[in-house]
Amino acid sequence: MEGTGGYQLGSQGVALTNNWATMSNYLRSRLQDGRAVDYWLGGRHYTTLQSIASSLAVAYMAVWWQYKAP
């Protein structure tokens, strides 16, 4: 998953903005996973708390970008 994770997250983020259910399911699975989000900062491992923060940041950015885009 390392190395390709960044692109994966990018494509998922675009898809998630179109479907709230998918977004909530994605975030729920990320939180239940308990692992850090390896997509960020060169694949280094982070704590669960940082993983949660990253997931929320991704969701916020996706929603913000959806409404900001013309």
Query: What is the extent of the structural domain holding 41?
Result: 5-65
Count of the separate structural domains present in the chain: 1
Has residue 55 been placed in a domain? yes
pLDDT in tens, 10-33: 555 555 455 566 666 676 666 655
* The pLDDT of residue 43 is above 60: no
d(C-alpha 41, C-alpha 70), whole Å: 30
Tell whether 70 is covered by a domain.
no
Nearest to 13 by CA among 58, 68, 47, 70: 58
Q: Is residue 21 part of a domain?
A: yes
User: pTM here?
Assistant: 0.30
Structure tokens at 9: 């997250």
Confidence of residue 46 (pLDDT cuts 50, 70, 90): low
